[in-house]
Each structure stands twice: as C-alpha cells, then as structure tokens.
Structure 1
Amino acid sequence: MNSTYSKREKFKNWRARRPFWGATLSILSGLIILWVPAKLYEVAAAPGSILFVGFFLGGLTMLMGILSYIIPRLSTLLGVLAIFASVLSIMGALGGFLIGTILGIIGGAMLIAWKPEMADHDSKTQSHLDPITEKEVASGRDILPD
C-alpha cells in the first residue's frame, strides 16, 4: 500500500486535533441566527430596528466556530463567546426561532468540553510518555502515593 494517507485518514487526523462537532454546530447556529434578519432586511433599515444586533450576534457565533477550527487551543474561550452570542441573539434575531440558540448553546458547550487527543495512540509512545515503567507495573508495586 502507498505510504501516503488516503483522504479519509487525513480528514480523520485533522478532525481529531480540533473541536470538530462543537465548531460545526456553532457555525450552523450562526447561519440559522443570520437567516432571520436576512429575511427581514427591509425592516432592518428602519430607524430604531434592533435587527442589526441579530446580524452582529449571528456573525459572531459563526465566527467563533470558524476560529475554533483554525485555533483549537482557544476552544474554551471561543465556546464561552459562542454561548453568549447565541443566547443574546434572542434579542435581535429571535435566536433563529430558538433553534439557533439551542444549537449555539450545545456547540459552545462542546467547544468548552473539548480536550485535544493524541494523534498517535501507539503503545511505544504511551509507555515513553508514562513515568511508570513497565517493570513496575509487572511487579505489581503500588504506584499510588500514600
């Protein structure tokens, strides 16, 4: 077999290093939130309209999802901002008929909870990173502190 990865394996490795599902739900939430003010754009031009807040918060929710793909180490901060933006979007865009708000809360929570996985789960790598030697484990020595 060829030494290069297939496209599916490359995507799987890329996805494992990012908060994929949280970011995807945040982007979907932002699109749904943006849909409401986009359909009511004639009203948005009226003085005193708060639909521009819906455009801003929907775009912010979507931006947090995109940034979490690009900068996964900031997923906790981006998740908090995505939750705030999606909840506040109720005020300006009806929260995408609440569907966008619910998806934004779930996606933001998934961004907060995401922890990076190690790409290589090889036993050599694990034993190399583990401070407990294999000899200690085989002997049955108590490894927990008193």
Structure 2
Amino acid sequence: MNAEAPVRSEGDHWLTVVRHRFRDWRGNRPFWAGLLIVFGGFPIAYFPYADLRLGNVTLAMATTAGAGSLIIGVLLMTLGFTLWFQQNMRVFAGVASILLGLVSLPVSNLGGFFIGFLFSLLGGALALSWAPGKPAEADGSDEADGSDEPKEGAVVDKGDALADGPYLAVPGPRGTETTYATETTAHADGGRNSAG
C-alpha cells in the first residue's frame, strides 16, 4: 500500500471520490497536452465555417480551404483524445500535432487566428516532453522496514553515500585503492606525504 495515498473512508462524499479518481487517472497520462491539442483543434475547424452578424452585415471567414481546415481541426482533436487513452502514442501525437499546427497557418485563417496554432504547438511540446512515472514497488520501500541501509542490489544516490562519510562530500578510498601514499599521490598532494 502506498503511504502517500489518501485514505478514503465510507463517509466520503461521492464528489470527493470522483475527484480523487479523476486526479489519479489524469496523473497517469499526458492530460494537459491532450487538452491543449483538443482546444487547438476547435478554432482551426470553427473559424472557416463561422459567420459574424453585425446588424444587417454578415462577416464570413469562409475560404476555399474550408475542408482542409476541418480536416486539420478534427485530426488535432483526435490526437488530443489519443493522448488521453493511448499514452504510448505520445511521441507520434506530439510530432503530428506540431506539424498540423504549422500546416494550419497557411490553410486555416492563420491557424485559427493563431489561437489554435499556439495551443497545438504547446500541447505537442508537452506531449513530447511527458514521460510515464515509475510504478511504486509492490513489496515496499527501504523506509518500510525501518533500516537506513539500502537493500541488496538497490541503486544508491552518490550524494547520499557521500553524506555518511567522515568529511561530508569527501569519499573514502574505494575497494581498489590503498590508503598509503604512493609516488603519484605524493605528487598530487604537492610533495606532502599524506600517509605519515
């Protein structure tokens, strides 16, 4: 059991339980990258088909590349949802969303007036930089047994190993070194004999 996991009792409100489950789900995937890419797809697909009415005047942003804008917008939204449900596709989805965002500049009204372009680029960069977390070991950690010594075969941080030495951050001799002064160490010490 994870010591940092929140303890849920029977009296927890269902909204609290849903919020905790959503937070756990969100933490195991590039959620924010997918959300930004989905948000980037909306203005790219919407603006070529939208019209603005000001009294009797209708302003339309429709261009000859309206179908291209729709395709780019739908593809970006699909890539955003792919990041949520297929985390192993994050590199492909990140690169594809960056490329589609760049293609949307000339095709779709300057990338949805730069809104969709910026969201898709930022989301693609977040998708490329996201890395899955390492799962916690099921058998427990070193702190669980109460000892300060690492287990057999465990990776020890060099800073932690040096902090236990007699001169904080000065390591002692390694297994292949000797503690007596040789001619080489005497020259490195400036001619002083450190052993005697």
Q: Given the two structures, how large is their TM-score scaled by the length of structure 2?
A: 0.58
> 1:75-105 deviations in whole A, cap 9, x for unaligned?
1110100111111011221201011101110
Work out the CA distance in 2 between the residues paired with 1:3 and 1:67.
36
Aligned pair partner of 2:117 in 95, 101, 126: 101
Pairing 1:114-125 to 2, within 5 Å after superposition = 114-118=130-134, 120=136, 124-125=140-141
Higher RCO, Cα 8 Å, sep 6+: 1
Aligned pair partner of 1:21 in 26, 29, 32: 32
2:93 is the counterpart of 1:78: yes
Q: 1:24 to 1:43 in 2, by over 3 A?
A: closer
2:163 is the counterpart of 1:112: no
Alignment correspondent of 2:155: 132
Work out the CA distance in 1 between the residues paired with 2:117 and 2:108.
10
Q: 22-31 or 58-67, which moves further after superposition?
A: 58-67
Alignment correspondent of 1:54: 69
Gaps of at least 5 residues in structure 1 are: none
Work out the CA distance in 2 between the residues paired with 1:109 and 1:97.
20
> 1:25-72 deviations in whole A, cap 9, x for unaligned?
00000011111122168946xxxx222111111111111101111101
Letter in 1 for 2:92: L
Work out the CA distance in 2 between the residues paired with 1:120 and 1:139.
26
Gaps of at least 5 residues in structure 2 are: 1-8, 52-59, 143-149, 166-170, 173-196
Work out the CA distance in 2 between the residues paired with 1:66 and 1:59.
11
Percent identity over the alignment is 24
Pairs aligned (count): 135
Letter in 2 for 1:67: T
- The CA RMSD over aligned residues, in Å, is 3.4
* Deviation of the 1:131 alpha carbon: 2.7
Name the structure with the higher helix share.
1
Aligned pair partner of 2:104 in 89, 93, 97: 89
Work out the CA distance in 2 between the residues paired with 1:132 and 1:42.
60
